[in-house]
Amino acid sequence: MPILALVSAIAFLHSTAGQGSSSLEGTWEGKLEVAYSGSSKDPASDERIKAAYAKSPFRIRINQQRASVYFGGEEVKPGLFQYQAYMTNAVIFASSAGEDRDGRWVETWNFTLTEKISDTMIACFSRVVNNLDLGETKDAGKFGLLAVGEFHRTPN
Where in the sequence is the domain holding 44, given as residue range(s)? 26-154
Q: Across residues 24-33, what is the average pLDDT?
A: 94
Residue 42's pLDDT is 66
Task: Please state the rounded mean pLDDT for residues 117-124.
Answer: 95
Mean pLDDT value of segment 20-30: 79
Report yes or no on 49 lying in a domain: yes
Q: Which of 23-32, 89-98, 113-122, 139-148 has the lowest mean pLDDT?
A: 139-148
Flag the least confident range among 87-101, 103-117, 135-149: 135-149
3-state secondary structure the chain: CHHHHHHHHHHHHCCCCCCCCCCCCEEEEECEEEEEECCCCCHHHHHHHHHHHHHCCEEEEEECCEEEEEECCEEECCCCCEEEEECCEEEEEEEEEEEECCEEEEEEEEEEEEEEECCEEEEEEEEEEEEHHHCCCCHHHEEEEEEEEEEEEECC
| pLDDT score of 11 more than 80 | no
Q: Is residue 89 part of a domain?
A: yes
Domain total of the chain: 1
pLDDT tens digits along 38-51: 766 667 777 888 88
Does 4 reside within a domain?
no
16 is a domain residue? no
So what's the pLDDT on residue 119? 95
For residue 132, being part of any structural domain is answered with yes
92 within some domain:
yes
80 found inside a domain: yes
Confidence of residue 140 (pLDDT cuts 50, 70, 90): low
Does residue 8 sit within a domain?
A: no
Report the C-alpha gap between 65 and 17 in whole angstroms.
12
pLDDT for the residue 139: 60
Q: What digits encode the pLDDT tens for the residues 57-66?
A: 999 999 988 9
Report yes or no on whether pTM surpasses 0.85.
Answer: no
Residue 88 has pLDDT above 60, yes or no: yes
Percentage with pLDDT > 90 across the chain:
54
